Structure 1
Amino acid sequence: MTIACLAVCAILLAASSVAAAADTAFLVVHKKGDLVKSKGTEKVTVSISLHNAGASTAYDVSLNDDTWPGEFFDVISGSPVQTWEKIDAGATLLHSFVLQAKAKGPFTSPPAVVKYRMAAKSVLQEAYSTPLPEFDILSDKPAANRFDWSFGVQYGPLMLVLSVVGLFIAILVSPSKSKKISKSDSSVLTSSIVVDFRPDDSRQPLWVFSCTKCLDNAARGFQV
């Protein structure tokens, strides 16, 4: 009985806290970075959005994303620090700045910090943005191709096989506009496809599908 009463009290307190928060300012902060390589240099464009998801205005808003060390980056446009007088309820502000990379290697940017007041002269509140995933600075690979290939290595062959199987199922179940496929025709409706995927650099294919004379059947009137 005591545990049940405590649980009910906790639920009521949580509900009251949510209701109280809904009547105040509440900032949701999102940070993203775009890595651009050009003429032997690399630039990172950092974009931060601040959205007031609360029901009242946020005052004395300050943004600090001073998480880019000087030995790795130079700020060439904008500033990682910015202030605003207020953000109205439901409004969104966008802020961006550009960095130039100086050192080579992986780098991860922690969340930016936003401080604001729920009412004029009230206690400062803090909000944190989403962090940035690790990216490789001044890598030999093109910026567009710098991602982890493990997902493609692990699931690429499976997706290819499923696509091939789905394609042949669609061919088999699709009605022909010119004539129906006879048993003799359907018995030769096969094709040869070899999926040669070797993650360990071996010379043995993982999947082999034998299928022939698809084009011959198509030429004789079978239409997908």
Structure 2
Amino acid sequence: MATKSWGSLLLLFLFFSSLFLDSPATASSDSPFMVAHKKVSLSRLKSGAERVSVSIDLYNQGSATAYDVNLNDDSWSQDTFDLVSGSTTKSWERLDAGSTASHFFVLESKVKGIFHGSPASIKFRIPTKASLQEAYSTPVLPLDILADRPPEKKFEWAKRLVAKYGALVSVLSLVSLFIYLVASPVKSGSAKGSKKRR
């Protein structure tokens, strides 16, 4: 497990260091500089499938506008994943300097196993160059699709409720007890006083 996390950290380090090595040349000229962050979340469905939600945030951190921006995230094999909503591709006419754009799509899988996705590709055009420019999103960690989870123990839900609301219930109980103790002597004292008057 430790070697997996070290390998993932090394991969991220190499990716970001390559970005920073390229950035001085890019930042010095009047051109766009695209940075894309890819995030994936998993959620188990009652039908026995795993829902995969993918979001990609795009940032133009350069000093010029990027034109004809095309995002493509085609690493999701059709043998493993079914597209539920959205699309794995997206286009924008332009992305001005300092602006952001986001794209979101949802997949479903019934195939169990580890999935290694690749970064999304972003191609764009700048007026000063004839060829299309290309950038890549951050990679995602390997996904454990339909991983075995330990069965939920009896009364596990009760433990979660106690952990979440236990402090609130304790405070309300103490306040109620305090109010009861303060109010009780007053009632019994007033009752004794009324008996003496009779």
Q: TM-score, normalised by structure 2?
A: 0.60
Number of aligned positions between the proteins: 128
Which residue among 62, 65, 84 is the counterpart of 2:70? 62
Q: CA deviation at 1:43?
A: 0.4
Alpha-carbon distance in 2 for matches of 1:19, 1:112 = 22
- Which amino acid is the alignment partner of residue 26 of structure 1? F
In the alignment, the residues of structure 2 paired with residue 36 and residue 117 of structure 1 have an alpha-carbon distance, to the nearest angstrom, of 37
Aligned to 1:80: 88
Counterpart amino acid of 1:24?
A: S
Distance 1:63 1:113 in 2: 6
**Aligned partner of residue 62 in structure 1, secondary structure:** strand
Write out per-residue CA displacement over residues 47-97 of structure 1, whole angstroms, 9 at most, x where no aligned residue: 001100001100010011000001110001000111110001100101010
Q: Which residue of 1 aligns with 2:109?
A: 101
Amino acid at match of 1:61: V
**What residue identity is the alignment partner of 2:130?**
S
**Aligned-residue RMSD, C-alpha:** 2.1
Which of 49, 53, 60 is 1:45 aligned to?
53
Matched, 1:119 2:127: yes
Deviation for aligned residue 1:140: 1.9
Counterpart secondary structure, 1:99: strand
Mapped partners of 2:113, 2:140: distance in 1: 15
Percent of aligned pairs with the same residue? 51
Corresponding position of 1:3: none
User: Which residue identity lines up with residue 37 of structure 1 in the other structure?
Assistant: R
Q: Compare 32-41 and 49-58 and name the one that shifted more.
A: 32-41
- Could you list the runs of 4 or more consecutive aligned residues of structure 1 that deviate by over 6 angstroms after TM superposition? none
State the Cα distance separating 1:141 from its structure 2 match. Answer: 1.5
What is the aligned counterpart of 1:129 among 126, 137, 143? 137
Distance 1:91 1:80, change over 3 A: same
Greater Cα offset, 26-35 or 116-125 = 116-125
CA 1:16–1:43: 2 relative to 1, 3 Å: closer
CA 1:135/1:17 → structure 2, altered by over 3 Å: closer, same or farther? closer
Q: Provide structure 2 residue ranges, at least 5 long, that are not aligned to the other structure.
A: 1-21, 151-198
Q: Is the 8 A contact 2:36 2:56 kept in 1?
A: yes
Matches of 1:120 and 1:86 in 2, distance apart? Answer: 15
The 1:104/1:63 distance shift into structure 2, 3 A limit, reads same
Matches within 5 A, 1:149-164: none
- Return 5+ residue gaps in structure 1 as ranges: 1-13, 143-224
The code of the aligned residue for 1:91 comes to S
Equivalences for residues 141-220 of structure 1 within 5 A: 141=149
- Pairing 1:26–2:33 present: yes
Greater fraction of residues in helix? 2
Question: What TM-score comes out, normalization by structure 1 length?
Answer: 0.53
Larger RCO, structures 1/2 (Cα 8 Å, 6+ apart): 2
1:202-221 Cα shifts (integer Å, max 9, x gaps): xxxxxxxxxxxxxxxxxxxx
Q: Which residue of 2 aligns with 1:140?
A: 148
